[in-house]
Amino acid sequence: MNASFELQRVGLQKWLLFWLLFLFPMLSSSSLFGASGEVQPRITVRVIPDSVLVGDRIRCLITVYHSQKEVAALEGFDRSDSLASHSFELIRRKHSSSFPSSGSGSEEFELELAVFGRGQQPLPPFTVVFRDLQGMVTKRVPYTSSASLFVRVLTDSSMRELRPLKPPLKPSIPSLLMMSVIAGVFGVAGMVLLLLFLLKRTVRNSAERVDSGQVAQRKLRKLGSSLSAGMPPHECYEELSNIMRSFLENHYRISALEAVTQEIERDLKKIGVAGFESIMNLLKQADLVKFADCHPDVEESRQSLKKASEVIRSTRVPKSDG
Amino acid sequence: MQHAVELEELGEQITEASRFIEHAQEQLSQRIIGQHEVIRRIFIAMLVNGHILLEGVPGLAKTLIIRTFASAMNLKFQRIQFTPDMLPADLIGTMIYNPKDMEFYPRKGPVFANVILADEINRSPAKVQSALLEAMQEHQVTIGNQTFPLQEPFMVLATQNPIEHEGTYILPEAQVDRFMMKILVDYPSYDEELEIMLQSATTASKLPVIPVVQLHDISRARALIDRIYVDPRVQRYIVDLVVATRKPGKYGMANLEAMIEYGASPRASIFLLLAAKAHAFLQHRAYITPEDVKVIAYDTLRHRIRPGYEAEADNIKPDDIIRQILQHVQVP
């Protein structure tokens, strides 16, 4: 008795397992199909993003599931009047088909829309047209999507940011005009440089014509007059030192005005000038007055001026002879 | 032409008093070939109580010059080789405990001499350098709680090797400033080197250096140097040179503004004047000329000018800056 009951229990369990593993999935999958075995059409709509600024673009993804014996198409987005009334403008559309499982297929429509208007904007209604494989319309399914998006306008007081505006395009300058302007600038610059060069050469030539010896002699004569007029002898020696240095700098092209006596001595030795000893004596005498608290009298100052004049004259003689 | 009577007399006294320098130079020239400018500057520093920082590669007779100088000048010489493990006590001395008397006695260090050769001063740490530099500044040393004056004349000649910086302690600017001059010891000329080679490559013992100077010679020379006349124009020239290292733009050298990070301190003016006086003394003159200032300007200013970043980037050395300053500052 117990054994037959056990056999019945095992048989019931097997029957239940058969129902769970095999028959139930078959029945549940058949619920997608109609009573006649046809696939019921299904439409999904997705909008990205759901909040935009006026004039922005959105992507609208519409997916239509249907039977493999049909093809689907969209109506309603092609008519600009219909879209304009709903503040949308179709920019671009893409269409792709796929057959995910036997007996069923799907169409995906990707629409790029420009959005206008303001506030909450519902997506415009559209119609899905199904055709059989011969191209005959089998059914039309009007569809109003519950998807919507929010459109913000630039003047909206709730706005916190402005859209970056594109800078206005600069008017392009014709390359020919540019070339001529550049050539003109270079031409003017060249002319200025040429003028400067000519001016410098003229000044140098005129400076060379001025005899440094003559200038020094004139200054010495003036200094002698000042001494006679009561100039203190130590000031006379300072001026004499300046005149001699200036003469040496211009005549022998050495840096004498900013040099100390020993530096001048070295430079003159290198050149081998005439009257070297006399020049150095004069400079050293001036140094004694300037730095060693020496007090020359007027007669000594006159003698030094005379000696300086002779030295300058002696340096000029060989030049004029040569 | 009439000299001021005082200056004329002083000039004669200087000529007389500076003879000992010539005798010492004769002794030095028997042992040292070349390096005349280095020797001249050592005499200048000795005459005005200054200290010298010598920089040069090894083998340029730095030690020989100083040793011979000390011998000829009849001065006590000490050579101290600075090392990283040195302590201030190794330099100035320390207190030693005598168990017999049960008391501490000071043992004086090698710094108690007239001429100190601080060889490779940058090899020892800062505390040893400070101990020496304090002795240089104060001319006295404190061991324990006793202060000992250093012997006069007291002169430090420190050496630095410019090509080796590994494991060295660079002297801070404040300490370098205490040296009167920084002398760059250069290689001898070709002929000098030939002579050095022939004279030194022998096993025969060298002629001894005869001490030719007495301490009172130095004291007398120092007293005369203090009386050397400095014209206000030369005084202003010295200050102009030093100020030009701080504000070169004021002297028409705007390009140097960015080249100098720090200019020379007032110590530079003091040492420049002292060194110029000593230079005039060596020339037997009782007055200073701008030449005296120019001649020692490089050695007195080069370690007191810190080149800026731009100068370092352009490889501009303090000597280049000094050259430009000497060219631009108006000579009286």
Residues B109-134 have pLDDT tens digits of 898 999 999 888 888 888 888 888 88
What is the arithmetic mean of pLDDT over A23-51? 63
Round to whole Å and give the CA distance between A270 and A133: 114
Between chain A and chain B, how many beta carbons pairs sit less than 8 Å apart?
58
**Number of separate domains in chain A:** 2
Q: What is the pLDDT of residue B34?
A: 82
Residue A254 lies in a domain: yes
* Same-domain status, A55 and A131: yes
Q: Cα distance from A315 to chain B (closest Cα, Å)?
A: 26
Confidence of residue A29 (pLDDT cuts 50, 70, 90): very low
The more confident residue out of A274 and A100 is: A274
Which residue of chain B has the CA closest to A263? B291
**Coil, strand, or helix at residue A263?**
helix
Of A262, A292, A296, which is closest to B291 when you measure between CB atoms? Answer: A262
* Residues facing A313 on adjacent strands: none
Residue A32 lies in a domain: no
Q: What is the pLDDT of residue A190?
A: 94
Q: Token pair of A95, please? A: 């269409």
What rounded mean pLDDT belongs to chain B?
Answer: 86
Q: What is the pLDDT of residue A33?
A: 44
Residue A17 lies in a domain: no
The more confident residue out of A321 and A91 is: A91
Q: What is the pLDDT of residue A319?
A: 46
Round to whole Å and give the CA distance between A200 and A194: 10
What is the arithmetic mean of pLDDT over B254-267? 87
CA distances from residue A173 to A48, A177, A185, A216, A253 in whole angstroms, order as listed: 43, 7, 17, 62, 54
Best-predicted range by mean pLDDT (A31-40, A148-157, B154-163): B154-163
Q: Cα distance from A187 to chain B (closest Cα, Å)?
A: 33
Burial of B49 (0-12, 13-18, 19+ CB in 10 A): middle
Confidence of residue A157 (pLDDT cuts 50, 70, 90): low
Answer with the one of A116, A134, A150 that is the final residue of a domain: A150
Round to whole Å and give the CA distance between B122 and B81: 10
Taking the Cβ of residue A260 and every Cβ of chain B, the question of whether any pair is shorter than 8 Å is answered with yes
* Same-domain status, A220 and A292: yes
Of A260, A261, A295, which is closest to B2 when you measure between CB atoms? Answer: A295
CA distances from residue B276 to A84, B36, B157, B245 in whole angstroms, order as listed: 99, 17, 19, 18
CATH number at residue A61: 2.60.40
Q: What is the pLDDT of residue B277?
A: 93
Topology (CATH level 3) of domain B5-200: Rossmann fold (3.40.50)
Which residue of chain A has the CA closest to B324? A258
Q: Cα distance from A174 to chain B (closest Cα, Å)?
A: 43
Residue A207 lies in a domain: no
Residue A98 has pLDDT above 90, yes or no: no
Query: Closest Cα partner for B97 from B48, B166, B149, B144?
Result: B144
Q: Cβ contact (<8 Å) for A291 and B287?
A: yes
Residue A226 has pLDDT above 60, yes or no: yes
Decide: A116 and A54 in contact? Cβ < 8 Å: yes
What is the arithmetic mean of pLDDT over A55-76? 85
Q: What is the pLDDT of residue A116?
A: 80
Residue in A235, A257, A283, A291 to test binding to B, most B beta-carbons within 10 Å? A291
Residue A124 has pLDDT above 60, yes or no: yes
Taking the Cβ of residue B236 and every Cβ of chain A, the question of whether any pair is shorter than 8 Å is answered with no
Q: Which chain B residues are within 8 Å of A261, Cβ to Cβ?
A: 289, 291
Confidence of residue B296 (pLDDT cuts 50, 70, 90): very high
Q: What is the pLDDT of residue A207?
A: 65
Q: What is the pLDDT of residue B84?
A: 87
Confidence of residue A36 (pLDDT cuts 50, 70, 90): very low
Share of chain A above pLDDT 70, in %: 75
Residue A15 lies in a domain: no
Residue A19 has pLDDT above 80, yes or no: no
Decide: A250 and B322 in contact? Cβ < 8 Å: no
Q: Token pair of A217, please? A: 């002699």
What 8-state DSSP symbol labels residue B18? T
* Same-domain status, A46 and A137: yes
Taking the Cβ of residue B9 and every Cβ of chain A, the question of whether any pair is shorter than 8 Å is answered with no
Q: Report domain extents, chain B.
A: 5-200, 230-328
Decide: A162 and A114 in contact? Cβ < 8 Å: no
Q: What is the pLDDT of residue B322?
A: 92
Decide: B70 and B89 in contact? Cβ < 8 Å: no
Could you tell me which CATH number the domain at B230-328 has?
1.10.8.80
Q: Cα distance from B54 to chain A (closest Cα, Å)?
A: 27
Residues shown for chain A:
322
Query: Closest Cα partner for A241 from A292, A300, A287?
Result: A287
Domain that holds residue A85: 42-150
Residue A188 lies in a domain: no
Q: Phi, psi (5° rounding) for residue A12?
A: -65, -40
Q: Cβ contact (<8 Å) for B4 and A300?
A: no
* Same-domain status, A125 and A222: no
Residues B41-61 have pLDDT tens digits of 999 999 998 999 998 888 888
* Residues facing A131 on adjacent strands: A71, A137
Residues A249-304 have pLDDT tens digits of 888 888 888 788 888 888 888 888 777 888 888 888 888 888 888 888 888 888 88
